[in-house]
Amino acid sequence: MNGGRPVILFVCSHNVCRSAMAEALAVAEAARRGHRVRIMSAGTQALPGFPAAPVAEAVLREVGITLDEHRSRRINEGLVAAATLVVTMTGAQRDLVQTTFPRSREKVVAWGDVAGGGDVEDPVGGSVEEVRALRERLASGMDAIFAQLDRMHQAGNRPKK
């Protein structure tokens, strides 16, 4: 299905801000690096079909990235099974995904496990400055995310610390 390409799945709660932004930033980073990788996002509580939060769209547009085509989707077994690496925004989400999809447990990590800095809190309802800070945090963590993806892809989805 993925032609041997590695797959990253970013996960948050509703898939309209954090994971959607992470997906779009990772797509841009993969293109910049010339990486052949599939990047997706989903939410643990997402209602399918909703566009990204307007503030997330605006903040990414500032750096030339669009969320125009994004539509929310709920995490499911097929998405998790297809992923090489599943990156949740919080430790609680990591634990939930690992419990819900136990066969894929080893490929699920929290953002803070890989990129540091602890949980990535949901800025929806916050200021534009908070969402800009989120954008910068996600962008600055992409090196660590891609390094983890490369390690897991080479190891056949087993995390290497």
| Confidence check: pLDDT of 3 > 80 | no
Question: Domains in the chain: how many in total?
Answer: 1
122 labelled catalytic = yes
Task: Point out the catalytic residue in the list 73, 94, 122, 135.
Answer: 122
β-bridge mates for residue 41, sequence order: 10
pTM of the model: 0.94
Q: Is 85 helix (H, G, I), strand (E, B) or coil?
A: strand
18 labelled catalytic = yes
Q: What is the per-residue pLDDT across 70-114, written as a single tens digit (0 to 9) for each?
A: 999 999 999 999 999 999 999 999 999 999 999 999 999 999 999
Task: Point out the catalytic residue in the list 17, 18, 94, 135.
Answer: 18
Q: What was the pLDDT predicted at 2?
A: 57
**1 in a structural domain:** no
Q: What does the buried/exposed string (b/e) look like for 29-66 if buried means 16 or more CB atoms within 10 Å of the residue's CB?
A: bbeeeeeebbbbbbbbebeeebebbebbbebbeeeebe
Structure token digits, residue 148: 């983890």
**Domain span at residue 113?**
7-155
| Confidence check: pLDDT of 52 > 90 | yes
**160 in a structural domain:** no
**11 in a structural domain:** yes
Q: Which residue has the higher pLDDT, 35 or 124?
A: 35
**63 in a structural domain:** yes
